[in-house]
C-alpha cells in the first residue's frame, strides 16, 4: 500500500524478493497539467509495469474494498507513504500491517519527517519499520537503521536515498518476520521526540532576519519542490541550491549578483544558485540575471 514515488523502491524490491506480493493498493488517479488529464500515481505505474493487480479505492471505508482485500487472503500489509488505515482494514491480515517511516522513531512522528529533519539542520536520520497501530507512528519497532544527512542533501536527494535504503530494510524485515528472527520492541517513551506535522504554506516562507544557516536549511527542505518562498518587488520568488556565506548587510538586502544571488541574512548571508520568479520557469541565477537584473541594495522579502 503506497502512492508517491517514495514508495516505488519498496514495491520493486519486494517484487524481486522471495515474498509473494498478491496486489497493490494505491491512491486514485489525479488530474494534472494544462489538459487536466487523469495522471496515475507513481506506485500505480510501477505496479502496472510489474503486472500486479491494482486497487484504487477512493474511500478506504468502502465495504467492497474490504471484501476485495479479504478475498486476496494476505498474511500481511506493507504500508509505505499511504493513508491512515482503519481498525477494520488493519484486522484483515492475520499478521497485521507494517510501515516504513523515514526517521529514527520516536523522533519525527508525523507526516513530514524528512522535511523537518532538514529544517532543523540534522546531520543524522534513518529508517524505522514499525507494526502499524491506530496511534500514528507509535507501533512497536521491528528494525531500525540510521543514515547520514549529507551537507549538500536537499529533500529530493535525501528522500530518494532513504526510499532505497528503506526498501532494502523492508525486505530484511519481511525475511525476519518469516523466519521468526525479529522481536518487536516498544518505542522508548523517554527518548526525545520532535514532531513532524504536515507542511503548510507558511513553512516555506523565508524570514531574512534568521541566520543564514537556518535559511539554507529551509531552502534545502523545499528543494526541488515546492520551493522555499520569498518576494521580489511584490512577486513570489522561489529559491533553490543555496549555501551560507559571510556577507553582511540588512536582512534581505541584495549583496551580489552574477553566477549566484547573495542576500544578507540576520547573521551572515545566503548564496543562491537557482531561482524561479512567479509565473516563470526555474533558472540558474546567471541566466536569470541576463533578463531580470537586480541592483545592489534591492531587497527580498518586502512587498
Does a structural domain hold residue 194?
no
Shared domain for 34 and 161, answered yes or no, is: yes
Residue 191 lies in a domain: no
pLDDT at 303 over 70: no
Q: For residue range 253-294, list pLDDT tens digits in order.
A: 999 998 999 999 999 999 999 999 998 999 999 998 888 778
Cβ neighbors of 62 (< 8 A, separation 6 or more) are none
Q: What is the mean pLDDT of residues 166-191?
A: 96
**Residue 5 neighbours by CB under 8 Å, 6+ apart:** 42, 163
Instruction: Give me the CATH number covering residue 281.
Output: 3.10.25.10
pLDDT at 233: 87
pLDDT at 169: 98
> CATH number for the domain including 15?
3.40.50.170
Residue 297 has pLDDT above 90, yes or no: no
Report yes or no on 195 lying in a domain. Answer: no
Q: Place 300 in a pLDDT band, splitting at 50, 70 and 90.
A: very high
Q: Are residues 10 and 140 in the same domain?
A: yes
- Residue 85: which of 70, 106, 66, 71 has the closest Cα? 66
Same domain, 162 and 27: yes
32 and 170 in a single domain? The answer is: yes
250 in any annotated domain: yes
78 and 47, same structural domain? yes
Q: What is the pLDDT of residues 29-42, one digit of tens each?
A: 998 877 788 999 99
Q: CB neighbours (10 Å) of residue 74?
A: 18
What number of CA atoms fall less than 13 Å from residue 77's CA on the CB side? Answer: 26
Which of 148, 179, 210 is a domain's end point? 179
Of the chain, the percentage scoring pLDDT greater than 90 comes to: 90
What is the pLDDT, as a whole number, of residue 193? 81
Instruction: Let me know if residue 245 belongs to a domain.
Output: yes
CB 24 within 8 A of CB 43: yes
pLDDT in tens, 123-161: 999 999 999 998 999 999 999 999 999 999 999 999 999
What is the residue-averaged pLDDT of the chain? Answer: 95
Domain boundary among 120, 147, 179: 179
Is 16 found in the same domain as 151? yes
Residues 137 and 225 in one domain: no
**CA gap 97, 78 in Å, rounded:** 6
Assigned domain for 115 exists: yes
- Asked if residue 154 belongs to a domain, the reply is yes
Q: Taking residues 74-103, report their average pLDDT.
A: 97
pLDDT of residue 294: 81
Contact status, residue 131 vs residue 184, Cβ threshold 8 Å: yes
Tell me the pTM.
Answer: 0.95
Quick one: 104 and 252 in the same domain? no
Average pLDDT over residues 197-224: 98
Same structural domain for residues 256 and 112? no
Of residues 19 and 258, the one with the higher pLDDT is 19
Residue 129 falls inside a structural domain: yes
Number of domains in the chain: 2
Indicate if 205 and 155 belong to the same structural domain: no
**Which residue range is the domain that position 269 belongs to?**
201-291
The rounded percent of the chain whose pLDDT value lies above 70 is 100
Amino acid at each position: 500500500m503506497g502512492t508517491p514515488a517514495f514508495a516505488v523502491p519498496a514495491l520493486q524490491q519486494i517484487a524481486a524478493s522471495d515474498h509473494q506480493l498478491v496486489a497493490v493498493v494505491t491512491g486514485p488517479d489525479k488530474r494534472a497539467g494544462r489538459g487536466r488529464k487523469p495522471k496515475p500515481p507513481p506506485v500505480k505505474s510501477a505496479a502496472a509495469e510489474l503486472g500486479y493487480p491494482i486497487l484504487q479505492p477512493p474511500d478506504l471505508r468502502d465495504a467492497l474494498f474490504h471484501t476485495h482485500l479479504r478475498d486476496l487472503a494476505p498474511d500481511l500489509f506493507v504500508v509505505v507513504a499511504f493513508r491512515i488505515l482503519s481498525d477494520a482494514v488493519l484486522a484483515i491480515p492475520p499478521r497485521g500491517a507494517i510501515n516504513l517511516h523515514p526517521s529514527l522513531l520516536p523522533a519525527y512522528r508525523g507526516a513530514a519527517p524528512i522535511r523537518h529533519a532538514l529544517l532543523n539542520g540534522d546531520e543524522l536520520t534513518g529508517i524505522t519499520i514499525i507494526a502499524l497501530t491506530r496511534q500514528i507512528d507509535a507501533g512497536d519497532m521491528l528494525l531500525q537503521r540510521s543514515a547520514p544527512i549529507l551537507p549538500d542533501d536537499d529533500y529530493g536527494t535525501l528522500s530518494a536515498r532513504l526510499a532505497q535504503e528503506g526498501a532494502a530494510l523492508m525486505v530484511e524485515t519481511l525475511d525476519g518476520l518469516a523466519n521468526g528472527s525479529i522481536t518487536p520492541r516498544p518505542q522508548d517513551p523517554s527518548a526525545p521526540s520532535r514532531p513532524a506535522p504536515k507542511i503548510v504554506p507558511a513553512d516555506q516562507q523565508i524570514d531574512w532576519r534568521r541566520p543564514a544557516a537556518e535559511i539554507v536549511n529551509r531552502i534545502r527542505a523545499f528543494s526541488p519542490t515546492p520551493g522555499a518562498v520569498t518576494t521580489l518587488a511584490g512577486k513570489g520568488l522561489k529559491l533553490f541550491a543555496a549555501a551560507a556565506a559571510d556577507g553582511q548587510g540588512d536582512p534581505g538586502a541584495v549583496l551580489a549578483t552574477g553566477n549566484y544571488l547573495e542576500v544578507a541574512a540576520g547573521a551572515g548571508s545566503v548564496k543562491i544558485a537557482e531561482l524561479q520568479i512567479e509565473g516563470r520557469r526555474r533558472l540558474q541565477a546567471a541566466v536569470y540575471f541576463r533578463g531580470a537584473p537586480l541592483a545592489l541594495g534591492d531587497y527580498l522579502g518586502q512587498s
